[in-house]
Structure 1
């Protein structure tokens, strides 16, 4: 039954695809059409089970791309269990991308960036709020909206420097004494995270 459902659902998705361009926003009607096709196919194949929710259930429609560059960039900063910032208008955000620190201003080119352990800085005039991120992705849209999705994050002023030093020492010792590839990988992740935390606090 589920194999048949997956084939039908895959077919409905293929039929509803549209050419994609980062220069334009996907119309809200396209998302609605895709979801309605998904729901219709699911109901036909498995009428006794509620269909799963799709990402569009949890997201507001994106505003249209303005004809001129706005004065502020709108930031959504979310974790798996919380929303730190929601439609917050700020002057700039600096994102710890794997390619380096990336400053995002209004009118930034549409971009998808993978995040590395480091500091997310949110600038509002003279006020700067800093968060330490473990990893995640940033999606910069053509309409000056930035979505930052992190696996874990904490305000920098909530970090205890003594615990960071202890963690760095412990994981460094674990790395030097690790005997299996799994132990080495886990220890290396610990070293990388605590090294980034240490750099964040000292910087």
Structure 2
């Protein structure tokens, strides 16, 4: 049975490698490859349900437009909720590990790792700021941006007193840490609270 499953999986991988990954309309859709895989799986292992593939959970993105749109469509998602869903904005600025990264409509496709910091969402003269702890930003060529964060909260909902208290506690833990694990945990706490403090004062 293991050999049969491995054989069906190899078929899926071969099919995926033969595809060119692009948003162009002429590229075969992923469900076609999935259907071939599922049919082969059912022939080889009829008594076990075939596994799901990523395309089973994803909605297809619209094709890359011929002209740059006037708005950027943004999704900001957390593991337990959606903060922004298909919101059209003028620009976002995210705290990438390489520095602050501005994203406008028509931005080149990019994947950026995020560090603790402020994400700002610009709509005309209105700017909404969120503190995000970490995550990734996926910038698609069709002027869509998906920001996946571990935690995110509007800046105006953060209690400055709690931030100062947390910073003092983690600074104390860092100075008294005796093991590498304790030092690492305390350093993370100091870094996050220092960034929170800077976000509130800036």
> TM-score, structure 1 length as denominator?
0.89
Residues 67-106 of structure 1 correspond to what in structure 2 (within 5 A)?
67-106=66-105
Q: Deviations over 1:154-191 (max 9, x none)?
A: 11111111010111110111111111111111111111
Unmatched runs of 5 consecutive residues or more in structure 2: none
Partner of 2:14: 14
Contact preservation (8 Å) 2:9, 2:37: yes
Deviation of 1:31 (Å):
1.4
Q: Deviations over 1:124-175 (max 9, x none)?
A: 1111111111111001111111111111111111111101011111011111
Deviation of 1:85 (Å):
1.2
Shift in CA distance, 68/195, structure 1 to aligned 2, threshold 3 Å: same
Residues 46-195 of structure 1 correspond to what in structure 2 (within 5 A)?
47-195=46-194
Q: State how many pairs are aligned.
A: 201
User: Aligned partners of 2:136, 2:84: CA distance in 1, in Å?
Assistant: 15
Contact preservation (8 Å) 2:132, 2:150: yes
Contact preservation (8 Å) 1:9, 1:41: no
Structural RMSD (CA): 2.1
Deviation of 1:55 (Å):
3.3
Shift in CA distance, 4/91, structure 1 to aligned 2, threshold 3 Å: same
Q: Deviations over 1:96-145 (max 9, x none)?
A: 10011111001111111000000111111111111111111001111111
Unmatched runs of 5 consecutive residues or more in structure 1: none
